[in-house]
Amino acid sequence: MSAPAAARPSAARVVARGRRRSATRRRVIIATLAVLVVAGFAVTLMFGQTFYPPDDVVRVILGEQVPGASFTVGRLRLPRAVLAVVAGFSFGMAGVTFQTMLRNPLASPDIIGISWGASAAAAIAIVSLSLDRTQVSALAIVSALAVALLIYVLAFRDGVVGTRLILIGIGISAILESVTSYVLSRAAEWDLQEATRWLTGSLNGVTWDQTLPALAALVVLTPVLLHQARDLSAMQLGDDTASALGVRVERTRVTVIVAAVGLIAFATAAAGPIAFVAFLSGPIAARLVGVGGSLLVPAGLVGALLVLVADFAGQFAFDTRYPVGVVTGVLGAPYLVYLIVRTHRAGGSP
Amino acid sequence: MTSVGIDRAPDAALVRRPARVRFLWLLVTAGVLAALMVASVALGSRDVTWSDVWAALGGADDTLEQAAVAKRMPRTLLAVVIGAALGLAGCVMQGVTRNPLADPGILGVNMGASLAVVTAVAFFGLTSPTGYIWVAMAGAAVSAVFVYAVGSLGRGGATPLKLALAGTATSVAFASLVSAVALPRNDIAGSFKLWQIGGVGGASYERIGQVLPFLAVGLAVCLLSARGLNSLALGDELAAGLGERVAVIRAMAALGAVVLCGASTAVAGPIGFVGLVVPHACRLLVGVDHRWLLPFSALTGAALLTAADVAGRVVTRPADVEVGIVTALIGAPFFIHIVRRQKVRDL
């Protein structure tokens, strides 16, 4: 009788210690990611065709006039770097939200066509209709929400099965990609710059009036998502368990979908559907911070870091300047195939 | 490959349509194709009269109208040839994998061919048109084997949805690699749309002549495997029990399909969804006997691609929409329809 009694407190202590350790690990990794994002942001502002020392950059950000730097850093690099962070963070958070909610890493908005909805709408609004920024963003979010709803309705038959939802999403993506290509080819001339933005995502020639709506959306919608983080984690256990735990499942689901689609739509309207960032960020973040706890913030940071690094590498690491979406596309493509191989080998449908 | 099984026993009337009905449909399809070919020559951004068409068919190109018609003729021919190849390849793939979702585009075979060509042009200085075809066929073969291997991993073997998922994911992955290779190169970026979307706009008799022998070989191999594909439809065990060499049949038929896909991608880019829609439509018309189904798929594929090309030219005059865009707009909803029809246990 004495042996189990002695074992019980020590087991509890082991669990407690493990929890403390993983919480510490989580905090350390989030802090490291944040530092890396800030460092990447700073490097993006300082380096380029010409180098500007940190104090010049800081003075420009504070609003002082610095010859040369005011234009290069303030007008060219700053909006671009801010949009890189904002779009990356938006894609990362929205991606992991969908992956968590649908319990499937393949169900990220860029694979199931939601990003394509926003991209097609933005391409139509800008290339064919020449609308202004607010209208573009509005159209993008309406269209992305409509696509999300459409995929859900089409995939619903006695419940939503993961594989069916993903394949239907891929079909929808094919349609929307064709619509985007169609819009682009109807434009006066095939402008490769515009085409790459709406087909793969690009930060080339970004200005403040593209960046600011995306930033505003991020500032408004991040707290909404974070507020739902705990309920979202509970929903991973299944709808019945979650509602037994006191989660209002339907309300949480609608709120979360609208917020995540909003993030995607605003970021896409500014930067195009930067390939695979939403898809990659969640799994990378999960690998880094481990299970337990919400992945929203880590995935957002990973996304921001991905876009910053990919954009910087795309601009300067090669002979030619690649748009950021091409770089993330090359990174994401093998991972997509690997994920399929792994889930198939593990048995059952992904 | 394990047996996926046929969902429901097909209706007896669907298995074998009466010869009279099949013959009637053959005439109707051939008539439709002929009408579409005429429309494809007559319609386009420039209005032409029937006398211009007639004169240009006779070889005249004195006026602008006649020159326009003369330019549309190889384009029409290419659409017919490529459509036939893709329709046939799709039908063979659906037979070989016993998968209603198989299609050269969906299974990533065409995109693999496209990636191979773009890579060879960008990094190895490939210029000869025949070289394009060989490289494209190699790319198609490699990606077909790869997708099939990935799709049949794990429990249940190559179920329709697993295979389709592996194929579409590979296709998406290849497409982004194609952009990565092609975009920064000015010499390829000009034909970027061709290698990403596919179209028949750049047709010439010379290019058709180069690809025709390859397509003829692929066509012959595919048509010869019709009887074998009928046995495969019974399931591997039963086919083997009937004395068929299952692996040989499957390898031969797949080889024929890969040759068709590679050769057509080398001239027209990765056009998707033709091979998905056509066999399903043909099965409704002539039943599931591959000896009828295969030639019928070729004919209907030719008609579908010609129609898509005409639509792409007429709807958006004076701009030209790539035929790959039109086929995706037609085919993707159909793909969704078939996915929705699949039963949950096949997922």
Q: Which residue of B has its CA nearest to A166?
A: B165
B252 vs B191, which has greater pLDDT? B252
The answer to whether the Cβ–Cβ distance between B176 and A275 falls below 8 Å is yes
Q: For residue range A250-292, list pLDDT tens digits in order.
A: 888 888 888 999 999 999 988 888 888 998 899 899 888 877 7
Query: What percent of chain A has pLDDT above 70?
Result: 92
User: Which region among A214-223, B88-97, B149-158 has the lowest average model confidence (pLDDT)?
Assistant: B149-158
Would you tell me how many other CB atoms lie within 10 Å of the CB of residue A285? 26
| Burial (0-12, 13-18, 19+ Cβ within 10 Å), B129 | middle
pLDDT value of position B343: 62
Say which of A175, A200, A337 has its CB closest to residue B170: A337
Phi, psi of A156 (to 5 degrees): -80, 115
Q: Which of residues 239-268 of A touch B (CB under 8 A)?
A: none
- Give me B147's structure tokens: 């997708």
Q: Which residue of B has its CA nearest to A340?
A: B166
Q: Does A332 touch chain B (CB under 8 A)?
A: yes
Distance from CA of A111 to the nearest CA of B (A): 9
Q: For residue range A56-106, list pLDDT tens digits in order.
A: 888 888 877 877 777 888 788 889 999 999 999 999 999 999 888 888 888
For residue B230, what are the domain limits? 73-346
Q: Which of residues 99-118 of A touch B (CB under 8 A)?
A: 106, 111
Of A239, A327, A87, A226, the closest CA to residue B181 belongs to: A327
Q: How far apart are the C-alpha atoms of A12 and A14, rounded to whole Å? A: 5
pLDDT value of position A41: 92
Q: Which residue of B has its CA nearest to A158?
A: B344
Q: How far apart are the C-alpha atoms of A226 and A9, rounded to whole Å? A: 35
pLDDT value of position A7: 53
Q: From chain A, pick out residues whose CB is under 8 angstroms from the CB of B325.
A: 178, 181-182, 185
pLDDT value of position A189: 58
The answer to whether the Cβ–Cβ distance between B340 and A337 falls below 8 Å is no
How many domains are contained in chain B?
A: 1
pLDDT value of position B347: 44
The answer to whether the Cβ–Cβ distance between B169 and A340 falls below 8 Å is yes
Say which of B170, B183, B331 has its CB closest to residue A196: B183
B271 belongs to a structural domain: yes
Q: From chain B, pick out residues whose CB is under 8 angstroms from the CB of A190.
A: 193
B191 belongs to a structural domain: yes
Say which of B183, B324, B329 has its CB closest to residue A175: B329
Average pLDDT over residues B230-250: 85
Query: What percent of chain B has pLDDT above 90?
Result: 23
Q: For residue range A18-63, list pLDDT tens digits in order.
A: 878 878 888 899 999 999 999 999 998 888 878 888 888 888 888 7
B288 belongs to a structural domain: yes
Q: For residue range B114-150, list pLDDT tens digits in order.
A: 999 988 988 888 878 888 889 999 999 999 999 988 8
The answer to whether the Cβ–Cβ distance between A185 and B165 falls below 8 Å is no
Q: Does A175 touch chain B (CB under 8 A)?
A: yes
The answer to whether the Cβ–Cβ distance between B154 and A154 falls below 8 Å is no
B41 belongs to a structural domain: no
Cβ neighbours of residue B222 closer than 8 Å, sequence gap 6 or more: B88, B89, B92, B253, B256, B257, B260, B294
User: Which region among A69-73, A107-111, B251-255, B262-266 has the lowest average model confidence (pLDDT)?
Assistant: A69-73
Q: From chain A, pick out residues whose CB is under 8 angstroms from the CB of B342.
A: 164
Indicate the pLDDT class of residue B72, thresholds 50, 70 and 90: confident
Say which of A185, A276, A319 has its CB closest to residue B319: A185
Give the number of A-B residue pairs with CB atoms closer than 8 Å. Answer: 151
Q: From chain A, pick out residues whose CB is under 8 angstroms from the CB of B183.
A: 192, 196, 322-323, 326
The answer to whether the Cβ–Cβ distance between A164 and B340 falls below 8 Å is yes
Q: For residue range B326-347, list pLDDT tens digits in order.
A: 898 888 898 888 888 876 544 4
B285 belongs to a structural domain: yes
Q: For residue range B79-127, list pLDDT tens digits in order.
A: 999 999 999 999 999 888 888 888 898 888 999 999 999 889 888 888 7
pLDDT above 60 (res B51) = yes
Distance from CA of B20 to the nearest CA of A (A): 37
- Hey, what domains does chain A have and what are their CATH numbers? 80-346 (1.10.3470.10)
Q: From chain B, pick out residues whose CB is under 8 angstroms from the CB of A334.
A: 173
Distance from CA of B16 to the nearest CA of A (A): 32
Distance from CA of A106 to the nearest CA of B (A): 10
- CA B213, distance to chain mean position in Å, is 17
pLDDT above 80 (res B311) = yes
Cβ neighbours of residue A138 closer than 8 Å, sequence gap 6 or more: none
User: Which region among A117-121, A250-254, B115-119, B296-300 has the lowest average model confidence (pLDDT)?
Assistant: A250-254
Distance from CA of A332 to the nearest CA of B (A): 8
Q: Which of residues 272-331 of A touch B (CB under 8 A)?
A: 275-276, 318-323, 325-327, 329-330
A4 backbone φψ class: left, alpha, beta (φ>0; ψ -120 to 50): alpha
The answer to whether the Cβ–Cβ distance between B347 and A164 falls below 8 Å is yes
Cβ neighbours of residue A69 closer than 8 Å, sequence gap 6 or more: A52, A56, A57, A59, A60
Say which of A163, A172, A347 has its CB closest to residue B154: A347
SS3 B331: helix
Longest dimension (CA), chain A: 86
Q: Tokens 């500014």, residue?
A: A270
Of B62, B9, B4, B21, the closest CA to residue B292 belongs to: B21
Q: What's B272's DSSP letter?
A: -
Indicate the pLDDT class of residue B7, thresholds 50, 70 and 90: very low
Q: From chain B, pick out residues whose CB is under 8 angstroms from the CB of A179.
A: 329
Q: Which residue of B has its CA nearest to A167?
A: B165
Indicate the pLDDT class of residue B190, thresholds 50, 70 and 90: low
B146 belongs to a structural domain: yes
Q: How far apart are the C-alpha atoms of A313 and B279, rounded to whole Å? A: 46
Q: Does A166 touch chain B (CB under 8 A)?
A: yes
The answer to whether the Cβ–Cβ distance between A175 and B332 falls below 8 Å is yes
Of A250, A260, A251, A249, the closest CA to residue A225 belongs to: A260
Average pLDDT over residues B19-25: 83
The answer to whether the Cβ–Cβ distance between B347 and A163 falls below 8 Å is yes
B189 vs B301, which has greater pLDDT? B301
Neighbouring-strand partners of residue A156: A160
B66 belongs to a structural domain: no
Indicate the pLDDT class of residue B202, thresholds 50, 70 and 90: confident
Indicate the pLDDT class of residue B14, thresholds 50, 70 and 90: low
Q: How far apart are the C-alpha atoms of B15 and B24, rounded to whole Å? A: 17
Instruction: Specify the CATH number for the domain of residue B94.
Output: 1.10.3470.10
B314 belongs to a structural domain: yes
